Each structure stands twice: as structure tokens, then as C-alpha cells.
Amino acid sequence: MGSDNRAQRQSRSFLLAVDDDEFLLCDEMRALRFAMEYAKAERVLRKACICSTVVVFGSARTLPPEDAERQLISARTPEEKIAALQQQRSSAYYEKARAFAQIVSLRGGALRASEGCGENVIATGGGPGIMEAANRGASDVGAPSVGFNITLPAEQQPNAYSTPELTFRFHYFAMRKMHLAMRANALAVFPGGFGTLDELFEILTLLQTRKAPPLPVVLFGREYWTTIINFGALLAEGAISPGDKKLFHFADEPEEAWEILSREGLNAHLPSEAMRSTARGQSNCDAKIHAEDNHTIVGSSANALPSTVETVR
């Protein structure tokens, strides 16, 4: 009769590394967990033929008009009424984000994902508010959209409109930001708070320092942005250069924003040959090369943007 080896078999050290949660979640494995967050989303996006995105940022607190109306009706105290009126005003941006996403999805190439390369697919942080509105707009017209959610102490729930197969959750803010940036052809930023400002200035810094290829940035709500950020003062103090103010544009309406994107040369940054080969091997994706430099312009523009700067890939 063989010796009893139950103690050895039951020891945590005997577990396969992939089955040992304590090991996988230890400090020493942080770099691998970080890499896995990159690899998981990247693999799914390649298989889904999401070649490029238009990223929409904005407040998670913005309510749909119907919810804002209900809140106003139920308000009782003066404070509640003031807050409800403010929400009602802000809800106009929900509708604008939804309409903008509809326009981008219909005209930008998102509907071609099933044919080989989805271009300018709406991508958001996956949560409520403006994020929900943009995902909802894409869903309205039958287009895919991406939701890059983040795990927070007060748990963020994914909105009901991002494409389920393209709804991700991240632990690391840095990796979430990287995925938001690496396929972006354009950025639309609606009024928001600290998170929105953080994401906006992250992209503006990448553009200013040429760590990302040029892309159009549209700030929705000129009055809002010029009230909360004194861009003129930054320039007067020498904190930014005159050319830095050309990194972004203001718009108040969805059609106006689309016209800016088209005028500025909305690029479709197609994947590398390696990415296309991987996608073809994993799905029916057959991304097409639209031009020698792997770029194509949506709409007509004499201001085609150069692609020589280092990308965040």
C-alpha cells in the first residue's frame, strides 16, 4: 500500500499556477495582471474587427431627459428643486451625445465591422450618463459600440447599451486609458467632472507631446468649457503655446461636431498586417487596406493629418 500523500496534494504549492488565486493576486504578479488586462481586451477587439474608434467622454451623472423630468416632478425642498432643474438643463447633453453617436455610427464605418473592419466605432467608459447616451445612440442604429468599464469602490455597473461582447471591465485605470486611446480616431468630450477632465487632459497631453497621432478633439458646450477652464489665461501665463489651442475645437450640436471631424480629416487608423492576420485567423474578419499608409479619410478634406508621429500602440 502506497504512502499517504494527501498533505502534498492538498498543499497550495501543488496547485497549478493558473489555479492559484492567492498567487495570481499577489503583489509580485501585478505586472502579469496588468499585461492580461491588455491582452484580453485586445484579443476580443481584434476578433470583433474593431479597427478604430471615436471616443466619447462626459459626466456619469447626466440623466436622460425622462429621468430628469421625473426627478423635477418629485422634488419637494428648494434644494431638491434647484438640483433637479440643473439636471434637467444637463439632460440636453444626454440627447446630444446620443444623436452624435448615431451620426458617427451611420457615417463613420462602424456598421462595416461584420464585413471586415469596423471603423470609428463608438467607445466609452461603459457606465451611466453621457457614456450610456453614446452607447445608446450606436445601439439605436444597429451599430456595435465598446464599453471600457472600471472597478470602483462604489461599484460601476455597465450600461445596457454597449455591445455585450464588447463590454469590458478593468482594475487598472492606466490600462483602461490605454485601450481608450490606442484605437481612437477622434475624441468627443461632453461636460463632466474630475474623471472627464482627467481623460481629456490625458489625450491633449499625448497630442501636445506627439506621443499620439494627430486626431480631432471636439468639446461639446463652448460656454461650459470656457467657463470652467480659462484657456486664455493658460496661454497668457505661458503654460501652453499658441498652437496648443488648435488641438481642440468647440461644438454645440451633433451635426456641427461631425462637420468638424470631417473637415479635420477623420482618419481610420487601420491595424497592422500582424493584427489583420491574427483577426483573419480567429474570425471572418478581413480588414482591408484602404491606402498605402494604412489610413483613409472619412469625408473630403484637404487637411489630411500626417501619420508620422509615434502612436500609443
**What integer pLDDT is reported at residue 155 of this predicted model?**
64
- Give a yes or no: residue 121 inside a domain: yes
Per-residue pLDDT of the chain (313 residues; tens, 9 = 90+): 578 999 999 999 999 999 999 999 999 999 999 999 999 999 999 999 999 999 999 999 999 999 888 888 888 898 888 888 888 898 999 999 999 999 999 999 999 887 778 999 999 999 999 999 999 999 999 999 999 999 988 767 999 999 999 999 999 999 999 999 999 999 999 999 999 999 999 999 999 999 989 999 999 999 999 999 999 999 999 999 999 999 999 999 999 999 999 999 886 544 445 444 444 444 445 443 333 334 433 443 333 333 323 333 3
- Give a yes or no: residue 192 inside a domain: yes
- Give a yes or no: residue 228 inside a domain: yes
Return the biggest CA–CA distance within the chain: 87
CA gap 284, 279 in Å, rounded: 8
- Give a yes or no: residue 104 inside a domain: yes
**What integer pLDDT is reported at residue 158 of this predicted model?**
95
Residue 195 belongs to domain with CATH number: 3.40.50.450
CB 265 within 8 A of CB 303: yes
- Give a yes or no: residue 200 inside a domain: yes
Per residue in 83-116, pLDDT tens? Answer: 888 888 989 999 999 999 999 999 999 998 877 7
| Contacts (Cβ under 8 Å, ≥6 apart) of 213 | 267, 269, 305, 306, 307, 309, 311
Residue ranges with strand state E in the chain: 53-57, 121-124, 145-150, 167-170, 184-189, 217-220, 249-251, 266-267, 297-298
CB 214 within 8 A of CB 207: yes
CA gap 135, 123 in Å, rounded: 7
| Contacts (Cβ under 8 Å, ≥6 apart) of 78 | none
Give the count of beta carbons closer than 10 Å to the beta carbon of residue 145. 31
- Give a yes or no: residue 303 inside a domain: no
Closest CA to 130 of 199, 216, 42, 34: 199
CA gap 207, 188 in Å, rounded: 15
- Give a yes or no: residue 125 inside a domain: yes
Amino acid at site 136: R
Per residue in 46-95, pLDDT tens? Answer: 999 999 999 999 999 999 999 888 888 888 898 888 888 888 898 999 99
Structural domain span for residue 172: 54-284
- Give a yes or no: residue 27 inside a domain: no
CB 213 within 8 A of CB 293: no
**What integer pLDDT is reported at residue 293 of this predicted model?**
37
Q: How many domains does the structure of the chain reveal?
A: 1
Report residue 59 CA to chain centroid gap: 13
